[in-house]
């Protein structure tokens, strides 16, 4: 599916609003989302059936030319076959007409995308983790979502209602004036709408083509800022003019941890569901689960609000923003810091800065993952060989600079913006080799502890499991340093 290209001077933005549907409208919403899941499962079973049929025929010695043809998984092909079978297939014949055609198109589009991801991943053309074969979605675990691209999609002039195909007019929990004002002025156009159930309530997200306002440019387009993320301070922002700002970590999850523990203990004492035995949850369990989830939802909303305010303030002020390429997935394997790192939202901060700088016409610079921002002196450029995590004050051995560790890292990141664009040779520039203060290489040397374990073996050779443990320890130390930098 081709990606939509906005017109010149426009950007594609999503605006989300909470809904307050009545009982009938909520039933229709769930029906549309269930129809999307059913169409997805049909597409997966229809395509995969030909794969298993070919495999069975090949086991009997049938030639390649006589095997069952491959079934296509493109969206037009799936939609054509689905329209032919929906009136006769017992899975859809009795109720397919109750929902909009966009609900079934949503499931078919998701299935086509899943097969494309699987094919490109298997060929080695997709980054990230290996994508497995598409599987059917469970009725109990699948997320409720449905997308509308055609039909009546509008925001009502009263700014408290939205109209969607086959669902009618639904009241919104919050005012839609931010979008309705732009539509009335002709500076916005709705492309699609997606309804989704998450965090205990229904939301509608409008994909909108919005004209970029002239005043959305950064307030200081010639100033670069380095953003150093951490746990103690969520962000330390240092700009190229010498100003430094510390943003404390709100730690929303830690603030609600005592309440969550109490509610979880109460939930554990009540009779919950058991799919193995068919046991239904008690009413008291449902009430306790709802109350606990409400706390989780509030924490998630507070975190999202704080991160958006932080990233919007940064991109609205600075023309260039430097962020680090942190291995967040690796840092989450550290059991001592996983909860605090997940609560901070490092990856979300970088993602929001990246697309918001595009809106303001700015630039996002990503520092190399191994750039020693914490161990490099921001005054003279000297690099320390070691800087343990418990040392929170950076003391330079060359120029006697004494500075906060996080502030020093943020200043180095701010200086990196000019280095990348002008090529000054500072560590982290494209084509400039990174320093190796520890004289590190790819050889695994035996430590004193391992030599004792080997009984003084010649050359101090280590056993395979010892080498693996040493490698894991080194990686964990490096990832933890990046987390607390």
The residue from 317, 324, 343, 407 that is catalytic is: 324
For residue range 440-458, what is the model confidence (pLDDT) as tens digits? 444 443 433 333 333 443 3
Contact 37, 141 (CB under 8 A): no
pTM equals 0.77
Q: Crossing angle of helices 75-85/23-59, nearest 10°?
A: 100
Which of 218, 211, 206 shows the shortest CA–CA distance to 182?
Answer: 211
Q: What is the pLDDT of residue 121?
A: 94
Burial label, 418 (beta-carbon count in 10 A; 0-12, 13-18, 19+): middle
**In the chain, where the domains are located:** 10-18+152-215, 24-122, 216-422, 448-454+463-484
Q: Name which of 247, 268, 234, 236 is nearest 341 in CA terms.
A: 234
pLDDT-derived band at 152 (thresholds 50, 70, 90) equals very high
Cα gap 102→108, rounded to integer Å: 10
**Cα separation of 347 and 44, whole Å?**
32
CA distance readout (Å), 175 to 19, 30, 85, 159, 230: 10, 24, 42, 6, 35
Weakest mean pLDDT among 158-167, 281-290, 385-394: 385-394
392 confidence band (pLDDT: 50, 70, 90): confident
Percent of the chain with pLDDT over 90: 61
Q: Is residue 18 within 8 Å of residue 160, measured between CB atoms? A: no
The mean predicted confidence, pLDDT, of the chain is 85
pLDDT band at 4 (very low <50, low <70, confident <90, very high): low
pLDDT at 459 over 70: no
- Kindly tell me if the per-residue pLDDT of 473 is higher than 90: no
pLDDT computed for residue 195 by the predictor? 97
pLDDT of 300 > 70? The answer is yes
Based on the residue annotation, tell me whether 228 is a catalytic residue of this protein. Answer: yes
Report the alpha-carbon distance of residue 254 to residue 260 in Å, rounded: 10
Name beta bridge partners: 208: 13, 190
Q: Would you call 406 a catalytic residue per the annotation? A: yes
Residues 19-41 have a mean pLDDT of 96
pLDDT tens column, 345-362: 999 999 999 999 988 888
Higher pLDDT: 223 or 422? It is: 223
Q: Residue 179's pLDDT band (boundaries 50, 70, 90)? A: very high
What pLDDT does residue 358 have?
87
pLDDT of residue 472 exceeding 70, the answer is no
325 is catalytic: no
What confidence tier does 417 reach under pLDDT thresholds 50, 70, 90? confident
Residue-wise pLDDT for 86-145, tens only, equals: 988 888 888 999 999 999 999 999 999 999 999 999 999 998 889 999 999 999 889 999
Predicted local confidence at residue 365, as pLDDT: 93
Q: What is the pLDDT of residues 90-101, one digit of tens each?
A: 888 889 999 999
From 2-6, 46-50, 438-442, the region with the lowest mean pLDDT: 438-442
Average of per-residue pLDDT across 296-302? 95
At 153 the pLDDT is 95
Q: In degrees, to the nearest 5, what angle opens at C-alpha 262 toward C-alphas 260 and 266?
A: 115
Task: Exactly one of 102, 239, 406, 479 is catalytic; name it.
Answer: 406
Q: Indicate the DSSP class of residue 188.
A: E
pLDDT at 7: 72
| Predicted confidence (pLDDT) at residue 462 exceeds the cutoff of 60 | no
CB 106 within 8 A of CB 147: yes
d(CA 71, CA 439): 55
């Amino acid at each position: 599916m081709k990606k939509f290209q906005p017109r010149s001077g426009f950007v594609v933005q999503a605006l989300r609003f909470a809904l307050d549907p009545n009982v009938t409208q909520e039933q229709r919403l769930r029906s549309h989302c269930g129809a999307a899941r059913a169409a997805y499962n049909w597409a997966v079973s229809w395509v995969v059936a030909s794969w298993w049929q070919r495999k069975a025929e090949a086991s009997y010695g049938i030639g390649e030319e006589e095997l069952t043809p491959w079934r296509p998984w493109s969206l037009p092909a799936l939609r054509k076959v689905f329209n032919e079978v929906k009136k006769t297939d017992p899975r859809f014949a009795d109720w397919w007409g109750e929902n909009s055609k966009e609900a079934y198109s949503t499931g078919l589009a998701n299935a086509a995308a899943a097969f494309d991801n699987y094919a490109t991943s298997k060929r080695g053309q997709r980054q990230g983790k290996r994508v497995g074969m598409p599987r059917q979605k469970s009725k109990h675990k699948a997320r409720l979502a449905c997308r509308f691209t055609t039909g009546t999609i509008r925001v009502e002039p009263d700014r408290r209602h939205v109209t969607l195909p086959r669902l009618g007019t639904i009241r919104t929990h919050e005012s839609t004036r931010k979008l309705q004002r732009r539509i009335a002025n002709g500076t916005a156009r709705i492309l699609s709408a997606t309804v989704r159930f998450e965090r205990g309530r229904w939301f509608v997200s409008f994909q909108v083509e919005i004209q970029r306002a002239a005043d959305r440019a950064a307030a200081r387009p010639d100033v670069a800022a380095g953003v150093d993320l951490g746990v103690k301070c969520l962000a330390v922002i240092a700009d190229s003019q010498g100003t430094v700002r510390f943003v404390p970590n709100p730690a929303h999850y830690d603030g609600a941890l005592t309440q969550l523990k109490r509610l979880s203990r109460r939930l554990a004492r009540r009779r919950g569901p058991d799919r193995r035995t068919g046991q239904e949850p008690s009413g008291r369990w449902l009430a306790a689960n709802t109350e606990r989830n409400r706390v989780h939802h509030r924490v998630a909303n507070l975190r999202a609000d704080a991160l958006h305010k932080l990233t919007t303030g940064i991109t609205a002020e600075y023309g260039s923003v430097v962020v680090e390429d942190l291995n967040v997935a690796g840092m989450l394997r550290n059991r001592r810091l996983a909860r605090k790192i997940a609560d901070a939202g490092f990856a979300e901060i970088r993602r929001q800065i990246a697309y918001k700088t595009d809106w303001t016409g700015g630039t996002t610079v990503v520092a190399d993952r191994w750039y020693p921002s914490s161990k490099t002196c921001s005054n003279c450029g000297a690099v320390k060989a070691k800087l343990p995590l418990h040392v929170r004050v950076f003391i330079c051995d060359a120029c006697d600079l004494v500075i906060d560790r996080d502030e020093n890292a943020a200043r180095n990141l701010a200086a990196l913006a000019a280095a990348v664009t002008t090529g000054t040779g500072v560590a982290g520039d494209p084509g400039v080799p990174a320093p190796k203060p520890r004289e590190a290489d790819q050889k695994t040397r035996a430590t004193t502890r391992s030599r004792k374990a080997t009984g003084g073996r010649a050359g101090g050779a280590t056993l395979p499991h010892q080498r693996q443990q040493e490698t894991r320890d080194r990686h964990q130390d490096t990832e933890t340093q990046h987390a607390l930098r």
